[in-house]
Amino acid sequence: MRCSHNMRFVGLPGTPPTILEGLKNNCGWRALNYFSKTFPDGELYIRVSAEESPDVVWVVQSLYPNQNARIVELYLALEALQGLGFKVGPLLLLYVAYARQDRRFLAGEPVSVKALYSGLRGFGVKNVITVDVHSPERFGEASGLEVKNVLPHAFMLKRVGLKADVVLAPDKGALHRAVAFARELGVPYYYLEKYRDRVTGEVRIDTKGLDVANRDVVIVDDIISTGETLATVTSQLYKLGARSVIAVVTHALITQRAMEILERAGIKRLVTANTVAHPEPLPPWIEVVDISGLLCQLTE
């Protein structure tokens, strides 16, 4: 591993300012400057500073909000770095857009992960470090990249502290997150069966006779997008007599609609990471944890 003080990185547009500051101040990583703009016709432009010529440059980015523009900028930056003769180290993708379409659920659909990320290899990228990507295995298979996936839930737990009687994964795919979290808390964990209508997007949850009466429940997941999954699970837990429902979710893409349905479902607290930029001000029940301290360990 490289010494932190030698570490050079480009924090591309989309990288939340709080994490950029954290990487610089907490980790001692040094950011390379660049200039970016959008042309009047909507095309994007980026120019990386040629003032320094580091041996290796890491590229850091969050591909939200505006996933489509962020992906174009990632490719433009990689080509620019290649043009400067810089060797690109691992890509640190704080949030991977399109990661959930990592297989063909319906005939005629694309494997979006393959379409969008396999081209990175053409720029010499071999390794990607992701933060709680939806499925590291499928992301790696579809993109052909070597994936190191960082799970931030335990780190977040240490930062905020919380108590619960039960940890729940909203579906089987999220079970590994719940297991790690439950171990930290020393409480049992369960997973629910989730069914999503692949055409309408409607979510149905089978609580499988779960007993949460008078219990404080924590739901652990990777992402809030529409908020449907979390809101549906929360409502059902309250119907089953849960005392309180808290969620710890790595990437909260907080749209107005998601906030409304989660508030309506009665979620008590949402703890999330600064892997994506959030609208401001946030309501008091949403807490954002700076996970730069966890990412520092990548170069320690």
Which of 60, 170, 178, 212 contacts ligand R5P by CB under 6 A? 170
CB atoms within 10 A of CB 282: 15
- Judged by CB under 6 A, does residue 221 bind ligand R5P? yes
Q: Which of 194, 208, 239, 268 is catalytic?
A: 194
Q: Label the pairing between strands 244-252 and 146-150.
A: unpaired
Show the site string, 65-94: x = touches ligand R5P by CB under 6 A, - = not. Answer: ------------------------------
The DSSP-derived string for the chain is ---GGG-EEEE-TTS-HHHHHHHHHTT--EEPPEEEEE-TTS-EEEEE--S---SEEEEEEE--SSHHHHHHHHHHHHHHHHHTTPEEEEEEEEE-TTTT--S-SSTT---HHHHHHGGGGGGT--EEEEES-S-HHHHHHHHT-EEEEE--HHHHHHHH----SEEEESSGGGHHHHHHHHHHHT--EEE-EEEE-TTT--EEEE-TT---TT-EEEEEEEEESSSHHHHHHHHHHHHTT-SEEEEEEEEE---HHHHHHHHHHT--EEEEETTS---SSPPTTEEEE--HHHHHGGG-
Q: Which is nearer to ligand R5P, 30 or 278 (CB)?
A: 278
Q: Which is nearer to ligand R5P, 152 or 227 (CB)?
A: 227
Decide if 87 is catalytic.
no
- Judged by CB under 6 A, does residue 229 bind ligand R5P? yes
- Judged by CB under 6 A, does residue 226 bind ligand R5P? yes
- Judged by CB under 6 A, does residue 224 bind ligand R5P? yes
- Judged by CB under 6 A, does residue 174 bind ligand R5P? yes
Residues 182-211 that bind ligand R5P (CB under 6 A): 203
**CB 156 to ligand R5P: min, Å:** 16
Which window, 4-12, 114-122, 216-224, 267-275, contacts ligand R5P (CB under 6 A)? 216-224
Which of 73, 102, 132, 222 contacts ligand R5P by CB under 6 A? 222
**CB 169 to ligand R5P: min, Å:** 9
**CB 248 to ligand R5P: min, Å:** 13
Q: Which is nearer to ligand R5P, 125 or 174 (CB)?
A: 174
Interface residues toward ligand R5P, by CB under 6 A: 100, 170-171, 173-174, 203, 221-229
Kindly list the catalytic residues. Answer: 194
